[in-house]
Amino acid sequence: MIKHEQAIETLRLKGHRLTPQRLIVLSIIASSDGHMGVDEVFQAAKKTYPYMDIATVYRTLHLFKDLGVVTEVAIGDRLHFELTDLDGHHHHMVCRACNGAFNLSPHYLAEFRDTLNKEFGFEPDLEHFAVTGICIDCQRSEFESKEKQK
Ligand SMILES: [Zn+2]
Ligand SMILES: [Zn+2]
């Protein structure tokens, strides 16, 4: 992953002012492991900076995207923004309970790709591969609410 400081440096080097709005949006994406939609970034930004408006968040995210600092990823039917992955591509696990997205390193799918190649001569497009399921936190809270009902 590109580092938060690296991203700020890129902005500065390319001659973009480090406005509070830009720094807030960047730090929100950096601190949360990204995977946030425009609206989620906006909601989080408003907490630190009440004057933030969604148009600014939108413009800021697209500036970051143009600079290559942030990547827009389609996960399921949602668009997420995350800090650009300098190691190339990663896949995602998406929780259907909380909508959270988690990174999945490509090496977990290397064997799967190999199998499809060897057994079927099939070359899969795994770039947009996402696995849906239930994340560990949601499994825990589900378990806890069941325990309470007993
Ligand atoms: Zn979850
Ligand atoms: Zn990701």
- pLDDT tens sequence across 1-55: 568 889 999 999 999 999 999 999 999 998 876 788 899 999 999 999 999 999 9
Residue 58: the pLDDT is: 95
54-87 pLDDT, tens digit each: 999 999 999 999 999 998 887 767 788 998 887 7
pLDDT, position 69: 92
| Å from CA of 149 to ligand 2 middle | 36
Hey, what amino acid is at 49? Y
Q: How far does the centroid of ligand 1 lie from the alpha carbon of residue 138, in Å?
A: 4
- Between 126 and 32, the more confident residue is 126
Residue 145: the pLDDT is: 85
Instruction: Give the pLDDT band (50/70/90) at residue 100.
Output: confident
* Ligand in nearest proximity to the CA of 29: 2
Ligand 2 center–CA 101 separation, angstroms: 7
Which option is the CATH number for 91-149: 3.10.110.10, 3.30.70.2860, 3.30.1490.190, 3.40.50.970?
Answer: 3.30.1490.190
Give the closest ligand to the alpha carbon of residue 80: 2
Domain definitions of the chain by residue range = 4-83, 91-149
pTM metric for this prediction: 0.76
The CA 93 to ligand 1 mean position distance, Å, reads 10
Pair type for strands 70-75 and 78-83: antiparallel
How many A from CA of 4 to the centre of ligand 1? 25
Residue 22's nearest CA partner among 47, 1, 41 is 41
**Which residue stretches of 14-106 are H helix?**
20-31, 38-48, 54-67
Q: How many whole angstroms from 150 Cα to the centroid of ligand 2?
A: 38
Tell how far the Cα of 23 is from the centroid of ligand 1, in angstroms: 28
- 87 contact partners, CB below 8 Å, separation of at least 6: 1
Interval between CA 8 and ligand 2 midpoint (Å):
20
What topology does CATH give the domain 4-83?
Answer: Arc Repressor Mutant, subunit A (1.10.10)
> How far apart, in whole angstroms, are the C-alpha atoms of residue 141 and residue 50?
32
Closest listed ligand to the CA of 35: 2
Please give the pLDDT value at position 13.
Answer: 93
